[in-house]
Structure 1
């Protein structure tokens, strides 16, 4: 008996999957109880140069025909089309689907899950979020008996590498980005990474799992890291913070708060110490408390590891019976608008250096229901002082209202930066 596998895509991850299926075939047979037979590799150009370990006789550019003859279809093409159509075709044919396509799931996940449920087939997607880090499994299965309150994480290794280089080596954003590109951590077009879209797709998937509510990438307010400077990072470090691009999904009394943005993380928080291109996700749950998932979030071998774990699970179910967990969207919690959320904030304000300004400034926050944790003056130059205000947890709309009052005040020379603080 064999389980026939179609591999769609032969890039960095696809190549690693194909090589592992060949090199570890005996182990996989023992784990599944049947041979995993790779029946074809779908590519755009069969004549393109390939790794010599890839069996060229398996290559085909007829991806639809390949999909039709497989028990398990591994989709590693990326993007929306033709991946979306091929996944639907695989489901119609009764095949188990394994995908690492976060963009597809973040936009069209619900329709794929519904199609799979109707056809009574499995969809696996551990590789769609954080590479080899088993956070999808953790939320879908390990925490199925708990109530998740918050998911917060470094979900993009490229941006973490850039910010890490800026912090530790004093590089500018442009210098750190070029280094990331030279080392292969960033694409020639880094937009999806540095503008936060990749992290937004991933937190949408994790929020859907955590809160049993359909969350789309369109629901996630997103800000990237292009505006962050080495000076911002040095100032944050002096105040006891690291700047990380975090994807955050939190359960509030009135719904789900979502964001992807540069965030201040206290240096004693576990996310602050995540270096280089690693990913890390912290989950806060009612029963389990704080859980941290950490590891390589990208690259051929780590992502292939996640893909293959799904392949083994899917193949085992086909051989022995059983099925993957289905989509659970019963909660249908409302998605909050950005101003409805709440957080601690750090606000830098340039003000005229004169008596009474501090009282007026703090009064603006108090009048809008914002409690201040600390105020620090960092410098005075030409009669202008820079004040850094850190708030306790407050409604975002209240902080915004206070800032609007301050910006109109005669003592204010400008609000220089407003940044969320996580973990205070």
Structure 2
């Protein structure tokens, strides 16, 4: 046990930062025992000194000069929870250059420019830990980085955005449309006033890039991730999934196929028997498949001040121990340097709803469009008659390019009034 305190600087005192301050105060004794030295908060960088905060922070700790705080010679660890690209990137780099280790929750920055941060940490001989960047309190990054280091991960399938899961869950359980469910999410504080980052999949794509990078030891950025949001998911899509014994979820999927990495975020139908189907409201879950361990699932609250702060403090304890022992933990692992497979070459399945003319030969013509593009049909059923006639087709696996071409061909056929819905299907074996 060292009497010399571990000195911590905090960047940001919003919902997460406030809870970090609270936990540092309330759990001071336990943290000291776990780290091996007292943990002392020496400064908190904020944009406004007089802004209301969830916890009381001694005025002497508050500062608007973040750069001066992170470059202090006595700071051992900088905790960054301000989010965004800048000034977070510059401040993290300056902290590392000044000799501090860094704990961050910044998924957007890691997904955009992680290699720059990792290289700076390696050059400085300091830690860069980021468990809180993906799935809040759920311990998923450390298992991928350390617990499964002796295994070969083949697939990561997850619900990593609580806002979209809440919306889709409400659409499933109440029959509400997207707009109605989004409004409820905003009223309850699960969705921002501007929900674009969540509902259009940007948040999930950043997390998918981080998960893929760790799982497959390859640098993957958010730009490498195919992305679709949930704003086009209709009540009819959700009802159709229910008729199939399935549920619609926004999934982050990272796969290893033919020694290439495929990463995508999009809404998909999954059978209600799949473990991810039971993930309700704003919860997150990540399903990992590996050659030796088999199937693992990690579940819990994926956002919020306290859950995210829990992950931050877990990293802080590890980084603090490393500082006391004058060592560092596991850094970036990108040795595999695998190629990222384009979405068109990714193998998937489709659920297609088609408004068609109710006349002889329609089913055969639709089946021929699938056959023309090399796509095999698993399920086909007709709903309604006359003006309300609709075909629902579920395909077997094919490349996304083949399936997209099939849909385009259907849209150009005289017998097809409209292709009303196209959604991928996941979680079922062929």
Q: TM-score, normalised by structure 1?
A: 0.97
Question: Residue 50 of structure 1 aligns to a residue in which SS?
Answer: coil
Q: Which is further off, 208-217 or 390-399?
A: 390-399
The equivalent position to 1:65 in structure 2, one of 68, 71, 90, is: 68
**Is the CA contact 2:21–2:55 (under 8 Å) kept in the aligned structure 1?**
no
Moved more, 414-423 or 191-200: 414-423
CA distance, structure 1, for counterparts of residue 386 and residue 310 of structure 2: 55
- Structure 2 residue matching 1:256: 3-state secondary structure: strand
Whole-angstrom CA distance in 2 between matches of 1:11 and 1:162: 24
Whether 1:387 and 2:391 are equivalent positions in the alignment is yes
After TM superposition, the structure 1 = structure 2 runs for residues 76-155 of structure 1, keeping only pairs within 5 Å, are 76-155=81-160
Residue 25 of structure 1 aligns with which residue? 28
Aligned length: 423
2:265 corresponds to 1:257: no
SS in 2 for 1:283: strand
Q: TM-score, normalised by structure 2?
A: 0.96
Alignment partners' CA distance in 1, 2:55 and 2:104: 25
State the match for 1:213 in structure 2.
218
Task: State how far apart, in whole Å, the 1-side matches of 2:375 and 2:233 are.
Answer: 26
Deviations 1:235-284 (A, max 9, x none): 21111110101111111115221211111111111111110100011111
Q: 2:167 & 2:410 partners in 1: Cα distance?
A: 33
Q: Distance in 2 between matches of 1:15 and 1:407?
A: 53
Q: Secondary structure at the match of 1:198?
A: helix
Q: CA deviation at 1:192?
A: 0.5
Find the aligned partners of 1:34 and 1:12 in 2 and give their Cα distance.
Answer: 27
How far apart in 1 are the matches of 2:50 and 2:427?
A: 52
SS in 1 for 2:354: strand
Q: Distance in 1 between matches of 2:119 and 2:271?
A: 41
Shift of 1:334: 1.1
Q: 1:295 aligns with which of 294, 300, 305?
A: 300
Quick one: distance in 1 between partners of 2:345 and 2:299?
30
1:277 equivalent in alignment to 2:282: yes
Q: CA deviation at 1:138?
A: 1.1
How far apart, in 1, do the equivalents of 2:28 and 2:143 lie? 27
- For residues 357 and 103 of structure 2, the distance between their equivalents in structure 1, rounded to whole angstroms, comes to 59
Q: CA deviation at 1:172?
A: 2.0
Identify the residue that residue 79 of structure 2 maps to in structure 1: 74
Match of 2:247 among 226, 242, 250: 242
Could you report, residue by residue, the CA deviation over 1:313-352 in whole angstroms, capped at 9, with x for unpaired residues? 0001111243221111111111121111011211111222
Offset of residue 52 of structure 1: 5.0
Cα separation, partners in 2 of 1:275 and 1:240, compared to 1, 3 Å:
same
Deviates more, 1:226-235 or 1:404-413: 404-413
**Mapped partners of 1:254, 1:370: distance in 2:** 24
Q: Which deviates further from its counterpart, 46-55 or 219-228?
A: 46-55
What is the Cα deviation at residue 167 of structure 1? Answer: 1.1
Contact 2:358 2:386 in 1 (8 A): no
Specify the alignment match of 1:421 in structure 2.
Answer: 425
Select which of 41, 44, 51 maps to 2:47. 44
Structure 1's consecutive aligned runs of 4 or more residues displaced over 3 angstroms after TM superposition are none
Give unmatched runs, 5+ long, in structure 1.
none
Q: Give runs of aligned pairs for residues 266-415 of structure 1, distance below 5 A.
A: 266-382=271-387, 385-415=389-419
Give the Cα–Cα distance (whole angstroms) in 2 for the partners of residues 302 and 100 of structure 1.
12
Instruction: Give the conservation status (yes or no) of the 8 Å contact 2:15–2:54.
Output: no
- Contact map agreement 1:347 1:388 (CA 8 A) in 2: yes
Q: Residues 19 and 54 of structure 1 are in contact (CA less than 8 Å); yes or no, is this contact kept in structure 2?
A: no
In structure 1, how many angstroms separate the alpha carbons of the residues matched to 2:403 and 2:89? 41
SS in 2 for 1:153: strand
Distance 1:229 1:381 in 2: 23
For 1:172, which of 170, 173, 177 is the aligned residue?
A: 177
1: distance between equivalents of 2:288 and 2:333? 19
* Kept in 2: contact 1:131–1:306 (CA 8 A): yes
Please identify, of 47-56 and 184-193, the stretch whose mean Cα deviation from structure 2 is larger.
Answer: 47-56
CA shift for structure 1 position 98: 0.2
Q: What value does the CA root-mean-square deviation take over the aligned residues? A: 1.2
Alignment counterpart, residue 12 of structure 1, candidates 11, 15, 21: 15
